[in-house]
Homo-oligomer: A and B are copies of this chain.
Amino acid sequence: MKYYSYDTFKNDTKKLLLLLREDNFEAIVTVARGGFTLSHAISEGLNIRDVQSIRTELYDKSLKRDNITIFAKCQFNGIKRVLVVDDISDSGETLKSVMSYLAEEFKGIEFKSATLFYKKTSVYEPDFWINEADDWIDFFWERDFLEDKTIS
């Protein structure tokens, strides 16, 4: 398990922003919860004020696509290019479902996806990603706020 610090995140996100700048995205859809911190950084870096979120739940642990429920009420008024953000495409089932859902629900809008990590065994490859994941990533947002940590 590899600890992924804020400093590493900052540098990776800057690299990701360089890849994203030319696409002129007008809105961001965050996949909850994993994409929240990254979306915030990207929205500031690209100066995109329209940030929405989408939530998924697995019926069970089988990770089959049909078992993913999407809770979403996105609204896009006159928007043509939307960036979908998550931290990692691991199994890829979540992002695959979310991208299919958005493409189906909002025809005429172009959706692209960005993550920090991509696993080669994923069933979905994001349009933009920075690192290949070969180990479990211990993201700072999952580690730094756990109850038993002391306040320094």
> Within residues 55 to 96 of chain A, which ones have a CB less than 8 A from any CB in chain B?
55, 57, 71, 73, 75
Interchain nearest-CB distance for A15 vs B (Å): 6
Task: Check if A122 is an interface residue, CB within 8 A of chain B.
Answer: no
CB atoms of B32 and A52 under 8 A apart: yes
Interchain nearest-CB distance for A115 vs B (Å): 15
CB atoms of B55 and A17 under 8 A apart: no
CB atoms of B32 and A51 under 8 A apart: yes
Report Cα–Cα, A99/B8, bound state, in Å: 36
CB atoms of B36 and A145 under 8 A apart: no
Contact of A11 among B13, B41, B152 (CB under 8 A): B152
Interchain nearest-CB distance for A125 vs B (Å): 24
A147 with B33, Cβ < 8 A, contacts A51-B55, A73-B73, A75-B73 known: no
Contact sample, A vs B, 10 pairs, CB 8 Å cutoff: A10-B144, A17-B147, A21-B147, A32-B52, A36-B51, A44-B142, A45-B146, A51-B53, A52-B55, A73-B75
